[in-house]
Amino acid sequence: MKDSIPIPHEWYQPGDLLIGGTAFLSLYHFHELTFDGHPSQELLKVPHMLTKFYQHVLALVFAVNEINENPKILSNVTLGFHIYDSYSDLRMAYRTTMDMLFKLHRYFPNYECDTRKNLMAVIGGLGSDISLCMANILRLYKILQLPYGSFAPKERDATQVTSFIHMIPNESPQYMGIIWLLQHFGWRWVGLFAADDDDGEHFLQVLEPLLSRNGICLDFTERILNREHLNSFHVLVDSVSNIYVPLIDSKANTFILYGDTKTIGALNTLLLIGNLKYKEITSFRKVWVMTAQLDFVLSGLQKGWDFEFFHGALVFRIHSKELLEFQKFFQDIKPPGKQGDGFFKDFWEQAFDCTFSSAMEPMDVNDSCTGEEKLESLPGSAFEIHTTGHSYSIYNAVYAIGHALQLIDSSRSKQRLMTGGQRAELQDVSPWQIRPFLQGILFNNSAGETISFNDNREMGARLNIMNFVTFPNKSFKMVKVGRVDPSGVEGKEFMIHENLIVWPRSFNMEDCIKCPEDQHPRTEGDRCVPKTLQFLSYQEILGITLTAVALSFSLITFWVLAVFITHQDTPIVKANNRDITYALLISLLLCFLCSLLFIGRPGQMTCSIQQSAFSIIFSAAVSCVLAKTITVVVAFMATKPGSNIRKWVGKRLANFIVLSCSLIEAAICIVWLGTSPPFPDSDSHSLTREIIVQCNEGSAVLFYISLGYLGLLSLVSLSVAFLARHLPDSFNEAKFITFSMLVFCSVWVSFIPTYLSTKGKYMVAVEVFSILASGAGLLICIFSPKCYIIVLRPELNNREQLIRRKKY
């Protein structure tokens, strides 16, 4: 108690009210004591400082000084601060927290031996372990604590620490951000790396089922020891093996890394040891996705290394905005540093790899610090010149405390005016009195953002998505490429700008992998994306057009049939075999309607009946045409004297032709459907970016037999009509049938090469067009002259016209 271990690294600035700061995530690594000498001597020789986090210290100092210079906030009091380091060690965190509460010269718990310190709140720590350690003491003394690190939800729910006011939301938004990111890019095969601690275990327990529920497969899970635990050769060898095996053998295209700064430092060390020449290994050069607590920091022996293994990573970061005055503040920092800054000397020496001269120790002139060194010249692993998310949160925390104190002062002033009492000094405020004012705070910071806390005593849940880009000179930069905002304040919960992303080098097609059959590579060649389904749809222009044409011809055919039925007793209708005419019109109507079976996504029912229905209906139509032609020929041949063909004249011959020809086609289709029916199928090979959803004919032989028989009927009808073309004209259909069958055959002859040269929905469209064109040819060529006479020239529809002969 009398001769305790001194804590050399602190920064104290006096004030009427004090803000404490601690646990800036191990600016120094605390080593195990050896008991070879006085503990204070060993502590003073701690070698490594994480210089990058010195900005956290500066953010608190800058915010306090800015408030003190602002006459609109706490004009009657001065804020001070007392900043300690936790040394990333729970014992030292307890010690420095006690110092923060009681130390002026020596400390005695539960006794106020010196002037009382007006400590209003403490900002810290960064990790959950240090923060909870501090809370064990601070809540006993009713001191509010504002951690600026992201905790697992379990840490908050389990402890119910009422003294916490969180500057950063819990990790739940990161979990959903990871899922949204994986789903956006179609990454369905991932590997997980997590710190080997309680937080890492909780992360795995939450994320593994979340991945499963969202259809994302987990290839492996691996835990990473922190560097201080890699203290033996066997542990080191085992860790290298445990890391390298899944990296090299994994087929996952994405690795997710959870932990803190020490975790990524340990992983980088293991990767370097496992690959001593530090060559790029393309077999595990995949995309890394990293959580917000990770930071790219190099110190000590690692300062000459780089983070090349993680080039192109997508990293979640605490939301921040640039504080321009803050940049000017730390750029003006020069030796010997600010008054009372116990961090500055070690920061400057280790950041710039130099030493301040001392009269007691001779030194090389080349190694001495000149004071002309520039913070802007430091790499990002040593110091950030931009405002980091954690520094931004610390800045907002100081201002939140300041505004809460201002509200208390204003409230007391109003109460004094109402009661006429004496003014109460703000120095008499109990730290616990700040809590309700702090929870309800609402103000705009200097960056123009509104600062407030939700019902869970948390700041807003926004996260930035950064792209980690490395350069040959071992430097790197972080580029904002997206954001996660579960509240949807800015319009979208998730947003990513793919065009801004720099991908891992081997991910840009140096190592090519074949996409699955249902996927295709993007134009950029950086990933596989699902193929779209292609079929002739009712929703697209081509499908709508063909449907409209089919329905139009169906209506026209129905109208023609109605005209013929209405005028069924007139000579022109009787002379052309009414029954066969009706059968032909009904067949044409069904032909136009059956074309609709080919439009829309193929199903089991439509595939089974579309080709059979088309074949049977068209064979019936062509059979009717053949029957009409033969009837005309037989009728004129029967008029010759002594002809024996007279007995064939009548309906029986026509009906026999129609039924027999149609039944043959029906028999072929029945055999086809009974042995190898058509079925819905997909073709993922013919087109690069689309999967063709189509009907497979089943038996190609029976399919072509069916079409061949239909072609044979058409040729017979064309031949017979051609031979009858010179018969007398009046009401003779031979010429019209000849022309209609010529159109019909021309359509289907041109159909064959066109059909075989197209793919996908255009192949179906060709068949539908051929059905409509050939049916329209029969309808127009055969029935338009008759409709013209029936509707427009009824005077020609008489018996005299029927028996008139052509005069030569």
Distance CA 7, CA 99 (A): 9
Q: Label residue 210 by pLDDT band (50, 70, 90).
A: very high
Is residue 242 a contact partner of residue 212, using CB atoms and an 8 Å limit? no
pLDDT value at position 580? 85
Is residue 465 very low, low, confident or very high in pLDDT (cuts 50, 70, 90)? very high
Mean pLDDT of all residues in 681-697: 85
The sign of the CA dihedral 521, 524, 529, 532 is negative
Mean pLDDT of 585-606: 90
Q: What percent of the chain has pLDDT over 90?
A: 18
Res 384: pLDDT: 87
More confident residue, 289 or 309: 289
Give backbone dihedrals phi and psi of 392, rounded to 5 degrees, phi first: -65, -40
Alpha-carbon distance of 659 to 676, in angstroms, equals 25
pLDDT band with cut points at 50, 70 and 90 for residue 376:
confident
**Hey, what amino acid is at 172?**
S
Band of pLDDT at residue 807, cut at 50, 70 and 90: very low
Report the pLDDT value the prediction gives residue 159, as an integer from 0 to 100.
45
How confident is residue 698, by pLDDT bands cut at 50, 70 and 90? Answer: confident
pLDDT-derived band at 731, boundaries 50, 70, 90: very low
Per-residue confidence (pLDDT) for residue 549, from 0 to 100:
94
The pLDDT value given to residue 225: 78
Is residue 243 classed exposed, middle or buried when 0-12, 13-18 and 19+ CB atoms within 10 A define those classes?
buried
Mean local confidence (pLDDT), 50-70: 92
pLDDT at 372: 86
Which DSSP letter does residue 788 get? I
Q: Which residues contact 224 (CB under 8 A, 6 or more apart)?
A: 193, 194, 195, 196, 200, 239, 243, 259, 263, 266, 267, 270
Q: Can you give the pLDDT at residue 114?
A: 47
For residue 282, pLDDT over 50 is answered with: no
Which pLDDT does position 567 carry in this prediction? 87
Three-state secondary structure readout of 404-450: HHHHHHHHHHHHHHHHCCCCCCHHHCCHHHHHHHHHCCEEECCCCCE
Q: Report pLDDT digits (tens) over 442-459.
A: 889 988 888 888 877 888
Please state which of the ranges 111-125, 133-147, 631-645 shows the lowest mean pLDDT. Answer: 631-645
How many other β-carbons are positioned within 10 Å of the β-carbon of residue 490? 10
Alpha carbon 173 to its chain centroid, in Å, reads 15
Alpha helices in 335-379 (DSSP H): 344-352
Q: Among 182-191, 500-509, 765-774, 782-791, which stretch is predicted with the lowest mean pLDDT? A: 500-509
The model's confidence at residue 806, banded by pLDDT at 50, 70 and 90, is very low
> Quick check: bond before 200 cis, omega within 30?
no
Max CA distance (Å), the chain = 148
pLDDT for the residue numbered 334: 86
What are 182-196's pLDDT values in tens digits?
A: 999 888 889 999 988
pLDDT at 278: 43
pLDDT at 646: 58
Would you state the pLDDT for residue 107?
Answer: 47
pLDDT at 283: 41
pLDDT at 182: 92
C-alpha to C-alpha distance for 191 and 257, rounded to whole angstroms: 9
d(CA 90, CA 101): 17
Is residue 79 predicted with pLDDT exceeding 90? yes
Place of tokens 């059956």: 594
What pLDDT, on the 0 to 100 scale, is given for residue 365? 62
With 80 as the cut, is the pLDDT of residue 610 above it? yes
Mean pLDDT of the chain: 81
For the cut 80, the answer to whether the pLDDT of residue 522 exceeds it is: no
Strand, coil or helix: what is 668? helix
Three-class SS of residue 369? coil
| CB burial string 122-153: b at 16+ within 10 A, e below | bbbbbbbbbbbbbbebbbeeebbbbbbbbbbe
pLDDT confidence band for 86 (50 / 70 / 90)? confident
Q: Are 66 and 396 in contact (CB under 8 A)?
A: no
Q: How do residues 528-562 score in pLDDT, each as one tens digit?
A: 788 888 888 888 999 999 999 999 999 999 999 99
The two tokens of residue 608 are 């089974």
pLDDT tens profile 298-347:
776 677 677 888 888 999 998 888 888 888 888 788 888 888 888 888 88
More confident position, 730 or 217:
217
Rounded average pLDDT over 214-230:
80
Quote the CA–CA distance of 490 and 487 in Å, as a whole number: 8
Query: Cα separation of 281 and 506, whole Å?
Result: 9
Question: Which range is least confidently modeled, 177-181, 393-397, 480-484, 642-646?
Answer: 642-646
Region of 438 on the Ramachandran plot (φ > 0 left; ψ -120 to 50 alpha; else beta): alpha
Q: How, if at all, do strands 450-452 and 144-146 pair? A: unpaired
